Structure 1
Amino acid sequence: MSRASRLLDLLQAFRRHKRPVSGARLADELGVSLRTIYRDIEALKAQGAAIDGEAGVGFVLKPGFMLPPLMFSEEEIEALVLGSRWVAERADGPLGAAAQNALAKIAAVLPRDLRAGIDETALLVPPRGPYSEGEANLPLIREAIRGNRKLQIGYADVNGAPSERVIWPIALAFFERTRVIVAWCELRGDFRHFRADRIVRFEVAERYPERRAALMKRWQARDDIHRPPPALA
């Protein structure tokens, strides 16, 4: 393994640990000696990495540092390209454009030989059909999720029966054929899943009173979240 690859692996190991991690544990994870870990930590510090800690206590990497030049393996490049192409084809327009812009920024800082892999990858994503009127609102729904804002929606169930809801959106799931909003429903007093294409009207309202991270933890603690959402709302 080259030294550059080893330093990159060490950075990734640091990012996996939110708390101080010992040099011995890092050495075990990366399959190198403890002496090598200490030497590589000093090398990263010399290149500007803000690593706090000391031997025998533990180390932590402060956020915001990238090792130049940005390096990826061939499979990592394929994963980035495939992911950005999927988002470009299957997400809403602004999110798709953002994925393409992000990939262009990555390509701009890659070495020439790795940059060619972005254009030459053979992994394709088939185009998706047209969006429904409800799915056209996905950018505003994503904005409401980021801002912890309630949504007042008119919603039609599978039989077309309408209802008025006030929901606290916390996540947006992109299934193959549907886009599903995970939210706390004030009407039901519980978490519900709402298909975006069944929303016939919506309005962004005030902030909801709980932290989205706390709501997400409560939703993730449910027994049924790993099943397909059959009972949408």
Structure 2
Amino acid sequence: MSRAERLLDLIQILRGYRAPVTGTVLADRLGVSLRTLYRDIATLQAQGADIAGEPGLGYVLKPGFMLPPLMFSEDEIEALVLGARWVRARADGRLGAAAETVLAKVGAVLPPDLRTMLDDSGLLIGPGAAIVGGDIDLDPVRIAIRREHRLDIGYRDEAGRVTRRRIWPFALAFFESVRIVAAWCEMRSDFRHFRVDRISEIAPTETHYPKRRAALLRAWRKTLPAKIADKI
């Protein structure tokens, strides 16, 4: 384990205690000597961690401390790179650009050795099937989900017939080649899944739907087979 990873683990351990915890307990949990533990505490305090206490009395991390990006572990950096590359390749253009920005911001504050790992990661996203309806702007859908607003849409069925729907969107799923909007449909009075490539028109509204998105999401999961719900 690198020292950066050990410092991260120390922060996470301290977050699990509301009362002061002795240096001996912390050192045992980290598998290091008490002397090393005291040096690590001093390092974190110098980096801005609000750790109160002293040797013999115990330590407590005061609420509100945010870990700087340089505290990411190597595995976490690889997860960020892989996820950002997938979003860039398979999500819509706006999210793809956001993924690039995230990596740039992280890279700007990483120490040189970890920044090299960010730039030269060997985790790649292979080519996939063409995305059906990939040119449709999903920004209004994502905004409606975040703000818990109704959407008015035109929706084509398999025969090409278009119906007008007012929906309460609460999730957007990205499959290999298809995007699906999960929503409550006022017309059907039930949950429905709308393929983005069959949406002919999207008209945002400023009207909040009457339930919280989290509540809709929980209720929707209960309608799914257990083997699927457990993975979403």
TM range (shorter): 0.7 to 0.9
> Match for residue 117 of structure 2?
117
Q: Distance in 2 between matches of 1:202 and 1:146?
A: 16
Q: Secondary structure at the match of 2:136?
A: helix
Give the % identical residues.
46
Q: Number of paired residues? A: 223
**RMSD of aligned alpha carbons:** 3.8
2:103 equivalent to 1:103 = yes
The structural deviation recorded for 1:61 is 5.9
TM-score under structure 1 normalisation?
Answer: 0.75
Q: Distance in 1 between matches of 2:163 and 2:28?
A: 53
> Match for residue 213 of structure 1?
214
> Match for residue 175 of structure 2?
175
Tell me, which stretches of 5 or more residues in structure 1 are unaligned?
A: 229-233
Aligned pair in 2 of structure 1 residues 210, 30: CA closer, same or farther (>3 Å)? Answer: farther
Q: Secondary structure at the match of 1:142?
A: helix
Q: Distance in 2 between matches of 1:213 and 1:155?
A: 25
Contact 1:219 1:225 in 2 (8 A): no
Aligned pair in 2 of structure 1 residues 41, 148: CA closer, same or farther (>3 Å)? Answer: farther
Q: Secondary structure at the match of 2:142?
A: helix
Tell me, which stretches of 5 or more residues in structure 2 are unaligned?
A: 54-58
The structural deviation recorded for 1:22 is 8.7
Max Rg structure? 2
Aligned pair in 2 of structure 1 residues 43, 113: CA closer, same or farther (>3 Å)? Answer: closer
Contact 2:182 2:192 in 1 (8 A): yes
Contact 1:14 1:60 in 2 (8 A): yes
Contact 2:69 2:110 in 1 (8 A): no
Q: Secondary structure at the match of 1:158?
A: coil
User: Partner amino acid for 2:156?
Assistant: A
User: Partner amino acid for 2:139?
Assistant: P
